[in-house]
Structure 1
Amino acid sequence: MSQSKCYHCHEVVAPGTSFSVIIDGHDRPMCCPGCEAVAQTIIHAGLSSYYQYRTEPGSSQRGLVPDELLSFSAYDLAEVQQEFVSTEDNASRVTLTLDGITCAACAWLIEHKISALPGIVRISVNTTTQRALILFKADDISMSQILQELSNIGYQAAPFTLEAEELKSQRQSKQFLLRLGLAGFATMQVMMFALALYSDFFTDLELEYRDYFRWVSLIFAAPVVCYSAAPFYFSAVRSLLAGRLNMDVSVSIAILGAYISSVVATINGTGEVYFESVTMFTFFLLLGRYLEQKALQTASVSASNLQKVVPLTARLVLADGYRDIAAKQLVVGDIIQVLPGDSIAADGVIRHGHSSCNESMLTGEQTPVLKIVGDTVFAGTINLDQTLEVTVSAIGQEQLVAKIISLQESASHTKPKIAETANRLAGIFSPIILSIAALTYIAWSFLSPTDAFWVTLSVLVATCPCALALATPTAVTCTTGQLTKLGIIIRRASVFETFPRLSHVVFDKTGTLTCGQLSLVSCQHAPNTDKSELLNLIANIEQGSLHPIAIACQSMFSQKIALEHITQHVGMGILCHYQGHEYRVGHYGFACASDAQSVPSMPAWYQKAPTQLLEQVVWLSCDGKPLACLVFNDKLRSDAAQTVKQLQELGIDVSIASGDQSKQVQALAQQLGIKQAHSGMLPQDKLALIHELQSQGAVVAMFGDGINDAPVLAAADLSVAMGSGSAIAKNSADTILLGDHLSRFVMALSLAKTTYRIIYQNLYWALGYNVLIIPLAVTGHVYPYIAALGMSFSSLIVVTNSLRLLRIRP
């Protein structure tokens, strides 16, 4: 009889062992309680695909002690972490989905508790998406410790995956509907008795009949108070334990206070009862929370949709044919076949075939892009015409689509100053309301003791800072998703405050106003030199650079040369040593200078050709003597002129700041209608220009290619990096144009202005509602159930107003 093996670690299961976990509908044997606990955690986290796609068995967990089994140890496994942990700034990066977040106070509590842990670099919580973005040092703190600490303060967390998020959303919706349905049913029953009592239908009946209906109302209200309203209590307790008051504290006091006083009145047979108010405002509060939850799910759905475009399977090319495998099983270097009409399963380089690809999910541009051998294709894009064979170059979190989602997630976790102000107001709002409620009860106890209690209830329920806290993050989340569809990544939410104030835009030339895809037009070289050898030498010298000229030189490479002391001089060129000589490639003044003070005259072999608008000239020299002159040509972006015109029509000044020393910068500026053009600028010169404009009161946006412009991009009020290559990794840019379409910036400008306007509308509404409702509630003009209805719809109006951004077509 063969011995069974542990489904998790593949070790032999000892006879008589009864540990098991249900995986994919089957009861799988486990060798020990450690493997059982780890496997159960993996399944509960929605990561069952780990067992389907793994290539090696998991680590044995026999050494775990019972206390450790309770601390989410499965998430410390490397094979599990590869699903959701990435690297950023030499730290581990994870997005957690959180249960139990109700308002900005919850986010504040989580951020302050977790950020105090050793090894935590940064944490930010988005109340709209109910996710936390955490950067941590894996050597100092483990995933299980982070999750355990969140559990200790009352929040259940798990790494965000699309499947787990959808399951969580379904589970929450069902639970919310159950609580809401129970509250609605109880409200109808209690209101029937309350209506009769308040209408004096029982005046002729004996007192015990009136008390009987009160007892029946008590019984119907009990499950509403004990079960339906439980989320408010949990939130209030977490807040109090953290030494902070949130809006659920006042709601909980109102519900429990009204119910307990009504129970006492029912038992004693004297006094007023408020069972109908308790059930009704609990129902309205839950209804508002449910509608708000559904609206917030709509606001945060764009990132999930982007994840769904990556196919689950790939067609792997083997020596003896093809085999369909899970895309998660691909490794770098695998070759996959992509049929016409299929989505590409991973980032890679075309090794065979040519076709057009639809990259609209990345760039927002519907026009197909022609791809040939050697071109890069991206996961989730669609192959349209011909069969392709692709060598996988990136998988998992290293793929472009994952980086876009990561940048989008980061943007949704940043907070504009206006949001921070709103959160501070919301934080001090609850203590103020509790104070007002206490003073209201004292005042009404003298004026009308019988009304003091319900008036105080109305004050507690009517006022809510939740709408104030939702005013900004919901609008930012909606707009971030809209801009992602256009191929525009917002990395910092502060841009929504900068866009409306923008007064000056500065463009770099090469790679920004122009396409940056240079092609060699001509090559003149000194007599008795070999053209192919010179071109190969230039290609070797430029090999370590990311400048567009260096990229254009790649096609000239024929063989490797052992160069020494390669030094890049930003904005001028590259210097190196080879066979005892100094070689320079760059501008004429840099490459052919015999010393720091003099520049030799043009060599006799050089024949100046007619100058084209977008030509760039590069010189090669040996010990200061010219060896070759290369002329490259570039193309103006198709929407450059349109973008400049639209910006000027909006009253925004436009300038060019280019490192190109030729007169073509002025000619290009004249062609585009730009009055201010600066040529021959080093990065420090561009930085000085930005500071000069800012000193004159201008709010400046800087466009750069993300290569040599990092200091300038960092200094500008708003920085825009071009391209999905090097720019995607630039930490200095606020905004990234993935498709390099300049006109999209004008669309983003319009949408950002609308977003800023909606944020202020939300804030005005939230503040205006509270300013209006507080005096009415204090003076007894608002019944408790009306107060609950008003509070719920106050938050709902803010969320709904933000959702209008999803309907805008920029």
Structure 2
Amino acid sequence: MTKECYHCGEPVLTGDSYQVDILGDNRTMCCPGCQAVASTIVANGLTSYYEYRTAPAEKANLVPDELQSLSLYDNEDVQQEFVRHENGTDEVVLSVDGVSCAACAWLIEKQLGKQEGVSRISVNTTTNRATLRWDPEKTKLSTLLNKIHTLGYKAAPFEADNQEAQYHKAMKHYLYKLGIAGLATMQVMMLAVAMYFEVFGDMDEAFRNYFRWVSLIFATPVLLYSATPFYLNAWRNLKARTLGMDVPVSIALLFAYFASLYATVTEKGEVFFESIAMFTFFLLVGRFLEMRARRTAAAASANLLKLIPRLATLASGEQIPAKSLKLDNVVRVLPGEPFPADGLVVEGVTTVDESMLTGESLPETRQCGDAVYAGTMNIDGNVNVKVTAEKKDSLIAHIVQLQDAAQLAKPRVAEIADIVARYFVAAILIISAFTWLYWHSHKPDDAFWIMLSVLVATCPCALSLATPTALTCSTSTFGKLGILLRSGHVFETLTKVNHLVVDKTGTLTEGNVTIADIHCFGDTSKDEALAIAAALEAYANHPIAQAFNDYPTNVTFSKVENVIGQGLQGYYQDKFWKIGKPQFALNDPGTAENSAHQVWLSCAGEPVASFQLVDPIRSTSQALIDKFHESGLKVTMLTGDNSATARAVADKLGIDELVAGVTPEGKLAYLNSLPKDQITMMIGDGVNDAPVLAGAHLSVAMGGGTDVAKASADMVLLGDDLTKLLDARRLASFTQKIIRQNLAWALGYNLVILPLAVMGYVAPYIAVAGMSGSSVIVVTNSLRLFKSDILDKIKAA
């Protein structure tokens, strides 16, 4: 029987001549073209294409070029794993190789932003990741990836394992370059010392020239191999008509080498081979340490994805890759195993460690109907879980996406620093030129090395690293607190807040609303009233609606409408029913006067039943209010509840102002009526809070709240501990302090070193050591935000 090609499905007429190892087996191909394409798919980490494809691929060309390999990313089966589809646009997080400074990020953003169909491109220099959003009807992902490649960078969809492999590969190459530069530096410096201090007495000119030629031999591989990262970055910048940090460095190295080469050949003038070797060596040491430090910060969110296991066990006992799990698959999770996907417990009871999501160290009990999340740890029970989200749509993937977005959203201070850095490079080149002209006319022998010192010493690398490294570290620490950031302005606004506005139900209270009392009107029994109310409330997701979830019902409503902030209405047995606030549900709201019942059920506007609800106050609410009062902040409770319960909660917590019984529009109107000097932070959880969350200066959504609320908020609190917001405020303050320190150091260093270098007081080796050290100091200072004990220090503050 004739075999079929594993790639294209056509008959194999060449025996086993062309094979590729795919999914653990040698697969037979029909021709070299299919073999090459299949090998490319495997090499690019896209083996899952063969797991998800619904039909064989087209016959491959014999020699696929780079663009052809990139076109694999346009395949819908391949995109299932890493592309998010939303409102007609596609979004992907990319790993970008070769990004070393803010100028690189700016270059990619500028060039990609001009492409048709691209609605957003943001590059994070700390994590070497980019978020790309485009219209698939106007352009293809392969086209955009090819555009990045033509700029001199390599980009591919982000995968934690692949990026880690790329990082180790890049570090290995850096070590090779560093080793060659280090060895050459030692050899050239020995010769330079002999020439400078004439160790051998009066040195014959022939020996001096001989030492110069030997120095040239050692310095050449440094220039041609070790220094290539600087040339590549400089070439990318110049090709795009912009100026990056490596432009002055590359100019200095090339000028020094060719001037020294000329002096060696003509036997006239000074040589700077030792400076070339030292420049490159110290620069590489600085970049190497900087890369390691930035990697420490960048690995935090990527490591979250590694918590998802590679394999999952189906209820049938079959083991499959966790990434291939589909909706409604049922998986078995044993004690001590992490959950492979988001899902609902359908069998068994256990406790779950969710500390990696919420920051809460105590385990939580989970039983049938409860949600569990990928990456969290099953502690002590055997459970079966029905999958409710694929890997790319899991909560943990969403967290990583939000963290990346928060890191990419640059505060105003970061944007200013990037602009200053770009113009500063141009200023350095101009100042260096004038420096050479001045010293050439006054002291020609020293003009060249003074110019080199100016070029290198003042490179504004530290200025560009000052803000992004601090933001990356701080965002990761926010994640440890169980707080997700969705906006970049959080760090600035959180420290300026002077007015806390907070919702009641599900925020200050637990949201575990229960029915304490029922009063029925007419002939309706309590069971009938509960059945009708439960059927109507099933169309809402507010904590009040959830109070009716435990009551069975066989009632079916039609034409149900959710009137946000008021209640629900619909038809049952050709009658018009309403449930909600008395002014919404009743023709005569006066019926509800002097009643402690907050929710009313009516038919044709006449009362059928009323319900008194109770909702315990969160244990952390009092501490939150007290701490904000101690900080001199005003606290307002803004709620749609107009009952005596709202006043009781406000009085018990000592809240300054109560604004009750307001609609979503009324909540937003209240915010808009406040004086401009009041910077508000709004905390809410429901659909009715979405407008006011979007309208506040800073907004926080409870993790157990609705998706609409979370989509409108700047921050999401994953757990229920409101005091985490106090820690977040201290962390934001400390982050701003670190950013100010970084900027002060970077600017102060350049302001001090520039005049000294221009006056000739800074030797070349001092210049390069100072520039590299300045960058390392900035990154190391930012890493203070990432220390394991930083949260304890913040809480103790």
State the TM-score, normalizing by the size of structure 2: 0.95
Alignment of 1:35-54 (within 5 A): 35-48=34-47, 54=52
Change (3 A) 1:426 1:758: same
Q: Which piece of structure 1 moves more, 720-729 or 354-363?
A: 720-729
Distance 2:267 2:172 in 1: 39
Deviations along 1:394-428, one digit per CA (max 9) or x if unpaired, are 11111111111111111111100110111110111
What are the within-5 Å matches in structure 2 for residues 22-101 of structure 1?
A: 28-32=27-31, 34-48=33-47, 54=52, 59-62=57-60, 66=64, 70=68, 72-101=70-99
The answer to whether the 8 A contact 2:49-2:78 is kept is: yes
**Distance (whole Å) between structure 2 residues aligned to residue 593 and residue 757 of structure 1:** 58
Distance 1:728 1:316, change over 3 A: farther
| Matching residue within 774, 780, 793 for 2:773 | 793
Quick check: 1:567 aligned with 2:565?
Answer: no
Partner of 2:326: 331
Aligned to 1:589: 583
Contact persistence 2:336–2:378 (CA under 8 A): yes
* Corresponding residue number in structure 2 for 1:164: 162
- Distance in 2 (CA, whole Å) between partners of 1:764 and 1:260 is 36
Structure 2: how far apart are the matches of 1:666 and 1:25? Answer: 66
1:699 is aligned to 679
Structure 2 counterpart of 1:740, from 720, 724, 730? 720
CA distance in 1, matches of 2:669, 2:708: 25
Assess if the C-alpha contact under 8 Å between 1:722 and 1:737 holds in 2: yes
Aligned counterpart, 1:119: 117
CA distance in 1, matches of 2:153, 2:527: 66
- How does 1:220-299 map onto structure 2 within 5 Å? 220-299=218-297
Name the CA distance, whole Å, in 1 between partners of 2:26 and 2:709: 45
CA contact (8 A) 1:501 1:699 kept: yes
Q: Secondary structure at the match of 2:156?
A: strand
Q: Paired residue for 2:625?
A: 644
Task: Give the alignment partner of residue 388 of structure 1, picking from 380, 383, 387.
Answer: 383
- Going from structure 1 to structure 2, the CA distance change for 1:400 and 1:559 (only over 3 Å counts) comes to same
> Partner letter of residue 390 of structure 1?
V
Q: How far is the alpha carbon of 1:447 from its aligned partner?
A: 1.0
Q: Determine which of 396, 416, 423 is the counterpart of 1:428.
A: 423
**Is the alpha carbon distance of 1:785 and 1:7 closer, same or farther for their aligned partners in structure 2, counting shifts above 3 Å?**
farther
1:719 aligns with 2:714: no
Q: Deviations over 1:657-695 (max 9, x none)?
A: 111001222221121121211111112222122223343
In the alignment, is the contact (CA less than 8 A) between 1:58 and 1:79 conserved in 2?
A: no
Q: Hey, what's the Cα distance between the residues in 1 that align with 2:142 and 2:752?
A: 47
1:634 to 2:624 alignment? no
Distance, in Å, in 2 between the alignment partners of 1:436 and 1:706 is: 58
Change (3 A) 1:746 1:11: farther
CA-CA distance at 1:647 after TM superposition = 1.5
Please tell me whether the aligned partners of residues 277 and 784 of structure 1 are also in contact (alpha carbons under 8 angstroms).
yes
Q: 1:290 to 1:500 in 2, by over 3 A?
A: same
Which structure 2 residue ranges, 5 or more long, are not aligned? none
Structure 2 letter corresponding to 1:718: L
Would you say 1:183 and 2:181 are equivalent positions? yes
- Are positions 1:761 and 2:755 aligned together? no
Q: Following the alignment from structure 1 to structure 2, what is the Cα–Cα distance between the partners of residues 541 and 136?
A: 40
Find the aligned partners of 2:678 and 2:34 in 1 and give their Cα distance. Answer: 62
SS in 2 for 1:405: helix
Q: Give, in angstroms, the shift of residue 535 of structure 1.
A: 2.2
Q: 2:591 aligns with which of 598, 601, 614?
A: 601
Amino acid at match of 2:300: S
| 1:668 aligned onto 2:649 | yes
Q: How far has the Cα of 1:259 moved from its partner?
A: 0.3
Structure-to-structure mapping, 1:456-467, within 5 angstroms = 456-467=451-462
Return the offset for 1:587: 1.0
Q: Distance in 1 between matches of 2:16 and 2:363?
A: 59
Contact 1:310 1:380 in 2 (8 A): yes
State how far apart, in whole Å, the 2-side matches of 1:665 and 1:152 are.
61
1:134 pairs, out of 132, 135, 154, with: 132
Counterpart CA distance in 2 for 1:785 and 1:22 is 52
CA change 1:561–1:804 in 2 (3 A) is same
Alignment of 1:778 with 2:758, yes or no, is yes
Structure 2 vs 1, CA of residues 54 and 797 (structure 1 numbering), >3 Å: closer, same or farther? same
Query: For this pair of structures, how many residues does the alignment match?
Result: 790
**Structure 1 residues 605-651: Cα deviation after superposition (integer angstroms, max 9, x where no partner):** xx96xx5xxxx621111111100112222111111101111111122
Q: Is the partner of 2:591 in helix, strand or coil?
A: coil
1:38 counterpart letter in structure 2: V
1:619-630 matches, within 5 Å, as: 619-630=600-611
Question: Aligned pair in 2 of structure 1 residues 281, 266: CA closer, same or farther (>3 Å)?
Answer: same
Q: Match of 1:717, as an amino acid?
A: H
The 2-side partners of 1:602 and 1:649 are apart by 39
Shift of 1:350: 1.3
Residue type at the aligned position of 1:13: V
Alpha-carbon separation, structure 1, partners of 2:21 and 2:384: 39
Structure-2 residue corresponding to 1:442:
437
Q: Which moved more, 1:87-96 or 1:400-409?
A: 87-96
1:487 matches 2:482? yes
For the 8 Å contact 1:441–1:453, the answer to whether it is kept is yes
- The TM-score, its normalising length taken from structure 1, stands at 0.94
Query: 2: CA distance between counterparts of 1:56 and 1:766?
Result: 55
CA gap of 1:170–1:370, structure 2 versus 1, over 3 A, is same
- What is the DSSP-based 3-state SS (H/G/I as helix, E as strand, rest coil) of the residue aligned with 2:133? strand
1:370 corresponds, among 365, 372, 375, to 365
Change (3 A) 1:412 1:69: closer
Distance 1:89 1:799 in 2: 38
What are the residue-to-residue correspondences of 1:408-427 with 2, within 5 Å? 408-427=403-422
Cα distance change, pair 116–60 in 1 and its aligned pair in 2 (3 A): same
Whole-Å Cα distance in 2 between the matches of residues 138 and 602 of structure 1? 55
CA distance in 2, matches of 1:777, 1:466: 17
2:34–2:61 Cα contact (<8 Å) kept: no
Give 2:671's aligned residue: 690
Distance verdict in 2 for CA 1:478–1:535, change over 3 Å: same
CA 1:403/1:776 → structure 2, altered by over 3 Å: closer, same or farther? same
Match of 1:680 in 2: 661
Listed one character per residue, the Cα deviations across residues 81-115 of structure 1 (whole Å, up to 9, x for unaligned) are: 22211224432111111111111111011001111
Task: State the distance in 2 between where 1:102 and 1:360 align.
Answer: 34
SS at match of 2:669: helix
3-state SS in 1 of match to 2:94: strand
Deviates more, 1:381-390 or 1:489-498: 381-390
Q: Aligned Cα RMSD in Å?
A: 2.1
CA distance in 2, matches of 1:357, 1:109: 45
* Alpha-carbon distance, 1:149 to partner: 0.7
Matched position secondary structure for 1:556: coil
Whether the 8 Å CA contact 1:76–1:144 is kept in 2: the answer is yes
**Aligned counterpart, 1:548:** 543
For residues 742-789 of structure 1, give each alpha carbon's deviation from its aligned partner in whole angstroms, at most 9, with x where no partner exists: 011001111110001100110111100000010010000111111111
After superposition, the Cα gap between the structure-2 partners of 1:292 and 1:164, relative to the gap in structure 1 and judged at 3 Å, is same
What residue in structure 2 maps to residue 510 of structure 1? 505
Tell me how far apart the structure 2 counterparts of residues 687 and 298 of structure 1 sit (CA, whole Å).
42
Classify the secondary structure of the residue corresponding to 2:642: coil
In 2, the alpha carbon distance for the partners of 1:676 and 1:362 equals: 33
Aligned to 2:521: 526
Distance 1:490 1:176, change over 3 A: same
